[in-house]
Structure 1
Amino acid sequence: MQLNTIKPAKGSKHAKRRVGRGIGSGLGKTAGRGHKGQKSRSGGYHKVGFEGGQMPLQRRLPKRGFKSHLLKYNAEITLGELQALDVTDVDVLVLKQIGLIPQIAKVVKVIKSGELSKKISLKGIGATAGAKAAIEAAGGSLGE
């Protein structure tokens, strides 16, 4: 095999359909566009979502809710994950190094999911009311 003998696979290439080239081609006169109307004209089309002047669906429906762009900076950690850690003093940097929270996270909060039986002190980490009670019950502390 040489570079000058390489050809595309059989059936992978086909001639482009040439429309508007006479009656004999089968695609003459209207060139597959039908008769009259906006879609038959050159440059005649409409924007996405246009409904012929009727109020479009995206404008008929009410706007609802929003997604905060700050959410990506928030992270949460469970009591069960804290229990599995082998450190007693926990802060945001430690959690990032271990890989429990993403590097982009700025605000971390402990949620009450799982059990905590060992003493852990948190620094710069928030907690829900239930999680706070569980941490304090285990002898830990939340130093803000």
Structure 2
Amino acid sequence: MHIAELGKGPTVILIHGFPELWFTWRHQIVYLASHGYRAIAPDLRGFGDTTGAPTDDVTKFTTLHVVGDLVALIDIVVAPGEDKVFVVARDWGLGAHRRNPIFQPVDALRALYGNDFYMVRFQKRGRFSKKNALNREYKRTRENGEAHT
């Protein structure tokens, strides 16, 4: 897997979207490195200089394969004693990030905002009513002074 890497400090992995490369993050890599982070941006499977699967076998390019690549990348790049990495993903990269069992964005949202937060409620099939969820979220943000007019 080809990666671009710069800086020292806590690790931030930047996952590109489709049809992009690590180069998408070039400005963020420099910024993060200059602010005390180790920025790593891989070319995902099938993109740029990353190989690893025969190009004539489309079954080797599923999201789960990409997730496996990211797990292996984390295993390799995380420094001894480092107990977490920060992950930033966009577009198609977000889909791979969300399917990674290491990352639990819904659990984080639940911890921050509770079970009634619209993105948490949306995760349970059959429990989501767009109108009701949006109304509850609007009322909650208005009550907390978060809504912008």
Same fold (TM over 0.5): no
Q: When the two structures are superposed, what TM-score results if normalisation uses the length of structure 2?
A: 0.24
User: Which fold has the larger relative contact order, with Cα–Cα distance below 8 Å and residues 6 or more apart in sequence?
Assistant: 2
Q: When the two structures are superposed, what TM-score results if normalisation uses the length of structure 1?
A: 0.24
Comparing both structures, which one devotes a greater share of its residues to helix?
2
